[in-house]
Amino acid sequence: MVRMTDLLTCLALALFAAQVVLPGGASADRRTALAPSGGRGETLLAQADDDTGASSSAPPTYTEVELTSLDGEIFVNPLYTGKVSTVRTIDKSGLIGEKVDIEVRIMTDGWRKFSLPQSAAGAYGVIVSGDDGILKISKPAQPGTPTGGVLKSVKKLVIEFGYLNTVFLFPRMNILEPSKVELGVLNKADNKFINGNIVAMKLDQAAVEFRDLPSGVVNKEGTMRVSLKEPGGTFINSDIQAWGYNIIVSETDIGTPAPITAEVFGLPDDAEIRFDFSSLTGQVISPSTKILTVAEINKGTPVSTITTDIGGSQPLTVTVKRVR
């Protein structure tokens, strides 16, 4: 998740108002300036849909993904950048460096491909700017131990408001048409796979995001079936540990307290979840912090109560973290 201290930098780079993940698992746009926290206790913004529709003159979107390294060929999905105009390096503190002089090639399926010069391959990340979007590709700030079988995730999988953003590692493959690579997760409710959007990839890994994932993608044992389809049609499957949550805010009248409830899936009933809320202007959320077991949460015990001076659907600033 983008930390609030980083958010101002992100907004300045993108030059647009951040689009946010919706409580019901929907989204204002298929790309977002905010990626959820992965259960690490960082801040997540959630906001209800205003049903206004996308503007034809909407400014470029901003997306963040991670890759474990920046050396070698990097493939970028054109849906997230459009025609690439510049590539700049960034350091670990987020400061933007010099423009990188590279050749961006357009592949037969429209994907973009480039390789950073040796002098820039050791950078913490790059900002890829295009006509339709700005893409930040960085290395994991806190690399974890990959989980899974032959197909692995570089971090713990936490589905937040139906959204999942991670990097999957796999055996090195030859990629001539990146669009033919598919990554999906199995929805056990109907036994069908839901494909994610691959944002960027290398020959041995892919940064992918999923939206509107139902709780049925995680079984009671807390595992999720992930499947990779290679360009030649070969499949690699892996069962990876995962959990997720949704937060529900009831419609409320001005000045009338309304309960905030949640659902958690993929964790045992005795696991404890901590919720930390920050009230926005015109809101009073009380209590601001609460710890409940999964069993209590899923029985409908309110995690907090919101009273607002502003009518309509309520945005939330909330941190969700597993504490036990």
pLDDT of 24 strictly over 70: no
Lowest mean pLDDT among 38-42, 55-59, 113-117, 170-174: 38-42
Q: What pLDDT score was predicted for residue 311?
A: 80
pLDDT bucket at 140, cuts 50 / 70 / 90? confident
pLDDT bucket at 60, cuts 50 / 70 / 90? low
pLDDT bucket at 141, cuts 50 / 70 / 90? confident
Q: What pLDDT score was predicted for residue 123?
A: 86
Lowest mean pLDDT among 145-159, 163-177, 218-232, 298-312: 145-159
Residue 6, C-beta contacts closer than 8 angstroms, at least 6 positions apart: 94
pLDDT bucket at 59, cuts 50 / 70 / 90? low
Provide the b/e sequence for 287-309 (b: ≥16 CB within 10 Å): eeebebbbebbbeeebbbbbbbe
pLDDT of 68 strictly over 50: yes
Q: What digits encode the pLDDT tens for the residues 75-112?
A: 999 999 999 999 999 988 878 888 888 899 999 999 99
Q: In whole angstroms, what is the distance from residue 186 CA to residue 189 CA? A: 9
Percent of the chain with pLDDT over 70: 80
